[in-house]
Structures are given as structure tokens and as C-alpha cells.
């Protein structure tokens, strides 16, 4: 008997409109579990190297895990994976919400989609039944309208819809996928892959329950964690202030990314803080499936000059900074509007804010002129121009068409030195965290297989003192001493090796990192007990960490086949220079040689070739990935 998983993996070929169901063995599930590991298994086995990401040959994979949908805190997540049209590398993004648990209840552990339809379609999956339905009437529609029309057509208001909006249809290279209008598979342009397949949506409905080995134990631990949510300052902070909680201290310390990373002196930071957010735009907080933390924000603005619809949720930290200080804007209402537009068109808010800030700096420096911007004054701080640019990118109009290619490709076309103004890793725009004060995050930006990402490991401050929550709670995984956030020596490399593997595990299992240590209230023991109680497997942390490491090596190997190597593990030049302006002026630069040394040490610790950064044959065999060895040869 299987516990946690359904034993069914759905394969869809959109070209032939055929589907079939695979029933993998228990060994398969215990080796790959779900999420990125399961997806990479199929991407490595079934996709040829150098596949065009927007061609029918790209695979688009939706993968919850063996434990997704468990009624324990913070386990709603699923991964969407494909070759990324933005980076050309392994593409992946995890989302919370309700869609992942619903897919499991509808009878499937994952969906593997290949081919492309000639006309728009959507998938309807209900309790094991599959239909490929015409979506011509949905094409071009914004997400709230499309979701409503699908629910009306299927006569069921409880259907969960994962979908793309116009930006995905228009193949914007950083288009994303949304479920329930506010939970995103945000980065890497996976919405464009869905658009290239003419797949508008996947509507799922499941009435079966997920089979748990020890339901009572799962209930008991859930109760235990829930009872501590309001006592723990981290989970209480997430609930009361959301992810924007840190903005006040960030801008006072002087590292709020400002004006496309050209300065750190944002004088009006007070207007973007969590306190201002709660006072001016917050309507309520919300959560994901079975999660007591409820860290998600819902905002509303109802003024004659600007309206923001609460149906699309509210901006997180990254979005507030990307459309705020990064564009020189201090008006949360306009930030909330930009977030709403991105959500109805399905665009990643980090990349969208970054390409607009890049265009603003080009305009300020005379690289772009009014003829390029359809007469718009695209200077920093112009909040109306910022909103206009969001619209133009989603619909690929004028300059928006160029920016929809991402900042790397746009700078190549614009020329005139604009390449100096982009900040990316593997062609993906960097998030809003500054590695000069968090060197471990910098290592993760550089090493991330899917381009710069802030959700690749915990952040350095969680381990800065003996009393820090991370240092206190993660000793079982080998983290026993504090390391300064700005240290870039061997201790930092070792710490982030462990954190990278642990985070990769959380992503593989679909566990939200805001639910467990070092970022929140659930302990390592509780997480392990939940996994054992769901599956009946007597897993240990050794086995789980091997799983996290297996996922990393599969992603690394996928990228190696695509031509990536150590030359792509870089950090934007700006971080090797001192802060400009504000309290940290003229200090903080990361030493380039030290950073390179740290990367090489990390390769060695991971068992990768020290020069190329590619997994060695021995490492692949150790992780049970023998089937990849012949490809190394």
C-alpha cells in the first residue's frame, strides 16, 4: 500500500492530444520523492540537450511531492520545471496555495507535458479523469476573468486553476504561472513555456483524501506546531507583518537597493515599511492550504485616481522593493498596482521591476531617449511611467517588446554601454537582497542552477550569533557555530553547503521554508516525524539530505549538458564595489579573489571538478545517479 503518494504520474502529449498514466515503483518514489528531483529525472531522461525552450520538445512538469497536501503546517508547495526561456538552463519555480494538494486529491503525483497544441487548450482533471478542452474563449483574458470562465464552464466553483495570463501567451521571457490568482511559480519564465504550448490553464478538482500512514501522529504534531506560531517571533512576525517586516531596518542600515542598484541612499524608505503597508494598503492576511502561519498579504486601494483589486493578493518584500526604491518610487499604492498588473498578466515581479529600473537608468543616462519610450519621461521616481511600462511589457508594445526579452538580451540590443547597467546571474535578474551584507546569499546567487535567486538557502543573519535561531536549531545538520554575515571564508562555505542541500530538500518535498527552522517555528525533529508518519518510511536526516544533494547534482548535470560550467557561476560586478551613499557609503565591497576562492572550495566540498564545477563520476555514483555516468564520459 502506498502512503502519501497516489502512484500515478500523468503524461500528456499536446501535439497528439493523447495521455497515459505511469505507475512508478515504491523505489522510484523513495529515490526522487517529487518536486525538482522528480522533474529533473524526466528532463534528463526524455529531453534532448540544446532543446529550444519555446519549442514543443521542451517538457513542462508540474510536480508536488510524496508529502504535498498533508494536513501539516506549510506543506502545500509544488514545483513547475522546464528548460527556462530566460536562462537556457534548468528552470524551476515552486508555488504554494491550494493547487498542489488538489492535484494529489485528484489522483496524480505529477503531470509531464510535452508537445504543443495548435489551438489554445486547457486541461481539466477531476478524480482521475482527464480532458483536453478548447480554450479559444480564454485566450487573451486576464487571470481573474479566465478563472471565473473556467469555473462557470465546468459548473464548479471549487475548481483550482493554475494558469497563464497574456504575458505567458505573449512569450514574455519572465512570464510566470499562477494558481488561485495569487500564488506563483514566479521565476525563470515558465509561463512562456506554457504559452508556447498553447496551454492556458490546468483546472483540477479532487475529492479523494490523501492516504496517510499515521494520521493521528500528523494531527498531534500539527497541533503542537500551531500552538507555538504566535509565541515564536519569526512566525508571529511573518503573520503580522509578512515578508516586508525587514524593510525599516534595511533602509536605515543603508542597503535598500535603489535606482537600479546605483545608490543605497533612499531617503523615503519610511514610506515602504511594513508599518506603512499595514496602515495604508493592507486589507487582511491569508494563508495557504493547511498552514496556520498565514503570512500572505491581501491589499486594496479604492481612490478616484487609483484602484487595486484585493482579488490579486498583495506585494511581498521583493515586489515592494523592485517597484519601489529600485525604481526610485516611494508610493505603496503604485507598488500595489504594479503587483496587481503583474498578477493579472502573470509576470515575475522581480524581473519586471528590474527591467524597468534598468530602462529608467538607461533613460537618465541618455542611452534611451524619448523616441525609444514613445515620448514618456522614463526617469526614476516616475510612478505613472512605471505602470505604463508594466502594461507595455505584458503586451510586448514598443520598448516593452524589447524589455520582455529580459535585461540581458535587451542590453545586447540597446548597446551603448547599457550592459554595465544590468545585474543578473545566468541571464536572470537578481532579487532584492545585497550580498555585500550577506555573502552566503551571494554564493547562492552565483551557484544557483536556475539563475540568481534568494530562495536557494536561508540568509546569513539567521546564523550570526550563538543565540540566532538558525544556529540554535540546526545543530543536528552540522551547524554548530555562528558566522558573521560578511565573512566569506571556509566557515561560510561549509555553512552554505549544508543550507543549500537542506533548501534543495525543502523544494524537492514541497515544504515551505517559512514553516520550519531556521526561518520559522517547526523543528527538524517535527519535520522528520511528519515525513515518517505520512509515508511509513523509516527515513533519517542522512537519507533526506542525500535527496537534497541528489536534486542539486541532477540540476547541475542538466546545465552541464546545456554548456554551463564554472564560468557561469558569477556575481554581478556591482557587489565587488563599495556601497554608494547612505550610512554604508564607501564600504562593503566583496573581495573578488576571496569570492572565487570560496566558490572553488565549495566545488571541492560538493565533490565537483574544482575547475569546471561539474559533478564528478564518483559523486554521481554515490548519489545513485549511475545512469548519468555514461553521459559524463
Size of the site for ligand SF4 (CB under 6 A): 13
Q: Which of residues 217-256 bind ligand SF4 (CB under 6 A)?
A: none
CB of residue 101 to ligand SF4, shortest distance in Å: 11
Coil, helix or strand at residue 408: helix
Among positions 288, 320, 509, 530, the unique one binding ligand SF4 when judged by CB under 6 A: 288
Among 279, 161, 297, 287, smallest CA distance to 242 is for: 297
Grid coordinates representing 394?
Answer: 505584458
Coil, helix or strand at residue 537: coil
**Spatial distance between the Cα atoms of 381 and 163, rounded to a whole number of angstroms:** 32
Among positions 246, 287, 398, 607, the unique one binding ligand SF4 when judged by CB under 6 A: 287
| 206/242 with CB nearer ligand SF4 | 242
CB of residue 286 to ligand SF4, shortest distance in Å: 7
| 470/515 with CB nearer ligand SF4 | 515
CB of residue 261 to ligand SF4, shortest distance in Å: 27
Grid coordinates representing 31?
Answer: 529515490
Q: What angle do CA 59, 65, 66 make, to 5 degrees?
A: 135
| 514/603 with CB nearer ligand SF4 | 514
| 388/454 with CB nearer ligand SF4 | 454
| 512/527 with CB nearer ligand SF4 | 512
Scanning 104-112, 184-192, 333-341, 508-516 for contacts with ligand SF4 by CB under 6 A, the matching segment is: 508-516
Q: Give 473-476's long-range contacts (Cβ < 8 A, gap of 24+).
A: 473/517, 473/518, 473/523, 473/524, 474/498, 474/502, 474/517, 474/518, 474/524, 476/524, 476/525, 476/541
| 296/497 with CB nearer ligand SF4 | 296
- Is residue 293 near ligand SF4 by the rule CB under 6 A? yes
- Is residue 295 near ligand SF4 by the rule CB under 6 A? yes
**Spatial distance between the Cα atoms of 59 and 44, rounded to a whole number of angstroms:** 10
**Spatial distance between the Cα atoms of 34 and 32, rounded to a whole number of angstroms:** 6
**Spatial distance between the Cα atoms of 143 and 75, rounded to a whole number of angstroms:** 25
| 295/446 with CB nearer ligand SF4 | 295
Question: Is 540:72 a contact under the CB 8 Å cutoff?
Answer: no
| 160/296 with CB nearer ligand SF4 | 296
CB of residue 97 to ligand SF4, shortest distance in Å: 8
Question: Is 239:285 a contact under the CB 8 Å cutoff?
Answer: yes
CB of residue 582 to ligand SF4, shortest distance in Å: 31
CB of residue 358 to ligand SF4, shortest distance in Å: 29
The CA-based dihedral angle spanning residues 345, 348, 349, 353, taken in that order and rounded to the nearest 10 degrees: -100
- Is residue 458 near ligand SF4 by the rule CB under 6 A? no
Among positions 187, 197, 296, 602, the unique one binding ligand SF4 when judged by CB under 6 A: 296
Q: Which of residues 44-103 bind ligand SF4 (CB under 6 A)?
A: 74, 76, 96
CB of residue 513 to ligand SF4, shortest distance in Å: 8
Scanning 294-302, 398-406, 489-497, 521-529 for contacts with ligand SF4 by CB under 6 A, the matching segment is: 294-302
Phi-psi region of 374 (alpha: psi -120 to 50; beta: other; left: phi over 0): left
Buried b (16+ CB within 10 A) or exposed e, 429-463: bbbbbbbbbbbbbbbbbbbbbbbbbbbbbbbbbbb
CB of residue 503 to ligand SF4, shortest distance in Å: 14
**Spatial distance between the Cα atoms of 161 and 180, rounded to a whole number of angstroms:** 6
CB of residue 533 to ligand SF4, shortest distance in Å: 19
Among positions 174, 266, 363, 514, the unique one binding ligand SF4 when judged by CB under 6 A: 514
Which phi and psi (to 5°) does residue 450 adopt? Answer: -105, 30
Per CB under 6 A, residues contacting ligand SF4 are 74, 76, 96, 287-288, 291, 293-296, 512, 514-515
Amino acid at each position: 500500500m502506498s502512503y502519501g503518494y497516489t502512484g500515478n504520474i500523468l503524461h500528456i502529449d499536446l501535439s497528439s492530444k493523447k495521455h497515459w498514466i505511469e505507475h512508478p515503483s515504491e523505489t522510484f518514489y523513495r529515490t526522487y520523492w517529487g518536486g525538482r528531483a522528480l522533474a529533473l529525472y524526466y528532463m534528463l531522461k526524455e529531453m534532448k540537450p540544446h532543446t529550444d525552450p519555446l519549442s514543443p520538445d521542451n517538457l513542462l512538469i508540474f510536480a508536488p511531492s510524496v508529502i504535498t497536501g498533508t494536513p501539516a503546517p506549510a506543506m502545500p508547495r509544488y514545483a513547475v520545471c522546464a528548460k527556462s526561456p530566460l536562462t537556457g538552463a534548468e528552470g524551476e519555480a515552486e508555488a504554494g496555495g491550494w493547487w498542489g494538494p488538489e492535484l494529489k486529491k485528484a489522483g496524480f503525483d505529477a503531470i509531464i507535458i510535452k508537445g504543443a497544441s495548435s489551438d489554445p487548450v486547457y486541461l481539466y482533471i477531476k478524480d482521475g479523469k482527464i480532458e483536453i478542452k478548447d480554450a479559444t474563449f480564454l485566450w487573451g483574458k486576464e487571470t481573474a476573468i479566465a478563472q471565473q470562465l473556467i469555473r462557470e464552464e465546468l459548473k464548479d466553483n471549487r475548481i483550482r486553476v493554475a494558469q497563464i495570463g497574456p504575458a505567458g501567451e505573449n512569450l514574455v521571457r519572465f512570464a510566470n504561472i499562477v494558481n488561485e490568482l495569487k500564488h506563483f511559480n514566479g521565476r525563470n519564465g515558465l509561463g512562456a513555456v506554457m504559452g508556447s504550448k498553447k496551454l492556458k490553464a490546468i483546472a483540477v478538482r479532487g475529492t479523494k483524501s490523501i492516504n496517510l500512514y499515521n494520521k493521528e501522529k500528523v494531527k498531534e504534531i500539527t497541533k503542537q506546531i500551531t500552538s507555538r506560531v504566535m509565541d515564536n517571533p519569526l512566525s508571529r512576525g511573518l503573520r503580522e507583518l509578512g515578508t516586508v517586516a525587514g524593510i525599516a531596518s534595511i533602509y536605515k542600515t543603508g542597503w535598500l537597493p535603489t535606482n537600479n542598484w546605483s545608490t543605497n541612499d533612499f531617503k523615503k524608505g519610511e514610506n515602504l515599511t511594513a508599518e506603512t503597508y499595514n496602515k495604508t494598503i493592507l486589507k487582511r492576511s491569508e494563508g495557504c492550504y493547511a498552514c496556520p502561519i498565514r503570512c500572505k498579504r491581501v491589499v486594496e486601494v479604492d481612490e478616484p485616481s487609483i484602484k487595486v483589486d484585493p482579488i490579486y493578493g498583495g506585494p511581498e518584500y521583493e515586489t515592494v522593493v523592485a517597484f519601489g526604491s529600485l525604481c526610485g518610487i516611494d508610493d505603496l499604492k503604485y507598488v500595489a498596482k504594479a503587483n496587481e498588473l503583474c498578477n493579472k498578466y502573470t509576470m515575475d515581479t522581480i524581473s519586471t521591476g528590474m527591467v524597468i529600473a534598468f530602462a529608467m537608468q538607461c533613460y537618465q543616462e541618455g542611452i534611451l531617449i524619448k523616441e525609444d519610450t514613445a515620448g514618456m519621461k522614463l526617469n526614476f521616481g516616475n510612478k505613472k511611467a512605471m505602470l505604463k511600462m508594466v502594461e507595455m511589457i505584458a503586451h510586448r508594445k514598443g520598448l516593452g517588446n524589447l524589455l520582455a526579452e529580459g535585461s540581458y538580451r535587451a542590453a545586447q540590443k540597446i548597446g551603448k554601454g547599457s550592459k554595465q547597467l544590468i545585474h543578473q546571474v545566468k541571464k536572470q535578474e537578481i532579487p532584492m537582497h545585497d550580498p555585500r551584507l550577506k555573502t552566503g546569499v551571494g554564493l547562492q546567487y552565483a551557484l544557483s542552477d536556475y539563475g540568481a535567486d534568494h530562495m536557494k538557502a536561508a540568509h546569513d543573519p539567521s546564523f550570526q550569533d550563538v543565540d540566532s535561531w538558525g544556529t540554535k536549531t540546526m545543530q543536528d545538520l552540522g551547524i554548530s557555530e555562528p558566522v558573521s554575515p560578511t565573512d566569506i571564508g571556509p566557515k561560510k562555505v561549509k555553512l552554505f553547503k549544508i543550507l543549500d542541500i537542506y533548501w534543495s530538500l525543502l523544494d524537492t518535498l514541497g515544504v515551505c521554508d517559512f514553516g520550519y527552522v531556521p526561518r520559522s517555528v517547526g523543528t527538524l525533529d517535527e519535520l522528520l516525524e511528519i515525513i515518517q508518519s505520512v509515508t511509513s518510511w523509516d527515513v533519517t536526516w542522512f537519507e533526506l539530505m542525500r535527496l537534497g544533494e541528489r536534486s542539486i547534482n541532477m540540476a547541475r548535470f542538466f546545465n552541464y549538458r546545456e554548456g554551463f560550467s564554472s564560468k557561469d557561476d558569477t556575481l554581478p560586478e556591482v557587489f565587488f564595489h563599495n556601497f554608494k551613499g547612505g550610512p554604508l557609503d564607501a564600504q562593503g565591497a566583496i573581495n573578488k579573489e576571496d569570492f572565487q576562492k570560496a566558490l572553488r572550495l565549495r566545488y571541492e566540498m560538493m565533490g565537483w571538478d574544482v575547475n569546471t564545477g561539474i559533478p564528478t563520476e564518483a559523486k554521481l555514483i554515490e548519489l545513485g545517479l549511475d545512469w548519468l555516468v555514461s553521459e559524463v564520459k
